[in-house]
Amino acid sequence: MRIPARWSNHWFGVENFSGECIVFNAVGIELSFARFLEKPFGDRGGLHDADVFRAGEYSKLGELVETIAQHFATRAARIRFAPEESQAGGAQARVEVVIKCLADSGAALKQRQGGEREDFHWEIIGELVGALAAILDHIEGKGGPA
């Protein structure tokens, strides 16, 4: 399946010679998750390996979502929220709720049988994770080129 380049994730540069993005971009997804998890890109066999996204096994993806939640909590703890952001309904509480929901979703997904190979939803999630990683890198003062 091909989608027009204007819809593609240019930062991964997965385009063919005619400017179309080639789907399924498992390597790009792996890169986003590696950046978020602060892991080296290209290590084989981990939960964020491109093959996990290609295979689409719910149990492995559930483990990955749980890992993302745990590491998100670690990275969120590095943020210095302003006093008003720490109040009920503020940014800190919203982040904490999202982390809890991610952990719960990961646990539920881990219990499911089967999977969905090359599920395009993971490309969308990968782009969101990549954007979140870039924002957190900026907040943590390490937003320069990797």
Residue pair 26/51 in contact (Cβ under 8 Å)? The answer is yes
Number of structural domains (the chain) is 2
Check whether residue 5 and residue 34 sit in a common domain.
yes
Cβ-in-10-Å burial (0-12, 13-18, 19+) of 59 comes to: middle
Check whether residue 97 and residue 124 sit in a common domain.
no
Check whether residue 85 and residue 49 sit in a common domain.
no
Q: Share the mean pLDDT of the chain.
A: 84
Q: How far apart are CA 13 and CA 67, in angstroms?
A: 27
Q: How far apart are CA 25 and CA 50, in angstroms?
A: 9
Of 141, 32, 135, which is closest to residue 91 (Cα–Cα)? 135
Check whether residue 52 and residue 124 sit in a common domain.
yes
pTM of the model: 0.80
pLDDT at 4: 40
Check whether residue 106 and residue 131 sit in a common domain.
no
Check whether residue 44 and residue 84 sit in a common domain.
no
Check whether residue 64 and residue 100 sit in a common domain.
yes
Write the CB contacts of 146 (distance below 8 Å, at least 6 apart in sequence). 35, 41
Residue with tokens 């096994």: 57
Check whether residue 120 and residue 52 sit in a common domain.
yes
Domain that holds residue 92: 58-114
2-6, 30-34, 102-106, 131-135: least confident range: 2-6
Check whether residue 142 and residue 106 sit in a common domain.
no
What type of residue sits at position 65? V
Confidence of residue 100 (pLDDT cuts 50, 70, 90): very high
pLDDT in tens, 35-87: 999 998 887 888 899 999 999 999 999 999 999 999 999 999 999 999 999 99
Residue pair 130/35 in contact (Cβ under 8 Å)? The answer is yes
> How many other C-beta atoms lie within 10 A of the C-beta of residue 36?
24
Q: How far apart are CA 104 and CA 58, in angstroms?
A: 14
